[in-house]
Amino acid sequence: MGYMWSIEERVGVAGMLHASWPAVETHPSQRTLAVCRVTGPAVVLGSTQAESLVDLRRAGARGIEVVRRRSGGGAVLVMPGDPVWVDVWVPRRDPLWNDDVGRAFDWLGDAWATALEAVGCQGMSAHRGRYEPSTRWSSLVCFGGVGAGEVVTSDGRKVVGVSQRRTRNGAWFHSACILEWDATELLGVLDLPDAERELARLGLAGAVAGVVDLVGRSDGRVIDGPAIVAALVDALPS
């Protein structure tokens, strides 16, 4: 027997989207995917990161909210439309559930890799094994390193970041797929010396790739969030 997915769209500020997920609180035994659309920019810190990593004056001047998620990893800048933010809920008794936290991402990473291949990205794969810092800013910026289930190009550039939080009812996975990569705005609100900020920008430029960066805008194809989400939904295991 196949397992049906419930698919929904959630719209709001990043803090609200991370704080709770009403659908899975009401129906925790239902596999669910949510496309999350933020109404304003935000820096989302990992669960163990200090708020002092952000220059609150700079963030405030740019109208960027500072929030925290309950899953691990580094800081992510979310903007309306980029990255493509998709959350997935898997109940504990579901066949996709894995007691091994490191392997729990495998199916989701594979689905993302399949989806990105479908929209024209070549050579995509989901990382297996331990976390690998691909830059010296990996503890600061999420896309500065590659963890289990995260999707990379054939030359190791990260395209999709994933993290998870677990409850007694299941696992809540966050995933973020970059459309066009530029670390300037994120680094611009972190509390870094200007020289270090520029070094980080250059280092991260070679460690990350966006879908549009990979596919381009030629031959009239439009690679956008809805197209990527549709491909991901098609790639979900049943």
Residue 91: its pLDDT value, please? 97
Backbone angles phi, psi at 175, to 5 degrees: -140, 140
Q: What is the DSSP letter of 5?
A: P
Residue 104: its pLDDT value, please? 96
**Assigned token pair, 233:** 């939904």
Reply yes or no on whether the pLDDT at 214 is more than 50.
yes
- E-assigned strand segments in 92-232: 125-126, 132-133, 145-146, 151-152, 158-166, 170-177
Give the mean model confidence (pLDDT) for residues 87-112: 96
pLDDT band per the 50, 70, 90 thresholds, residue 234: very high
Q: What is the pLDDT of residues 35-80, one digit of tens each?
A: 999 999 999 999 999 999 999 999 999 999 999 999 989 999 999 9
Domains and CATH numbers, the chain: 6-235 (3.30.930.10)
Give the mean model confidence (pLDDT) for residues 154-183: 96
Residue 1: its pLDDT value, please? 41
Mean pLDDT of the chain: 94
Residue 223: its pLDDT value, please? 84
Residue 220: its pLDDT value, please? 63
pTM of the model: 0.94
The sign of the dihedral angle between the CA atoms of 106, 124, 160, 205 is positive
Query: CA distances (Å), 131 to each of 67, 117, 120, 149, 157, in order?
Result: 24, 23, 27, 10, 14
Give the mean model confidence (pLDDT) for residues 13-18: 96
Give the mean model confidence (pLDDT) for residues 185-202: 95
pLDDT band per the 50, 70, 90 thresholds, residue 221: low
Q: What is the pLDDT of residues 20-29, one digit of tens each?
A: 999 999 999 9
Give the mean model confidence (pLDDT) for residues 173-194: 96
Q: What is the pLDDT of residues 110-135, one digit of tens each?
A: 999 999 999 999 999 999 989 999 99
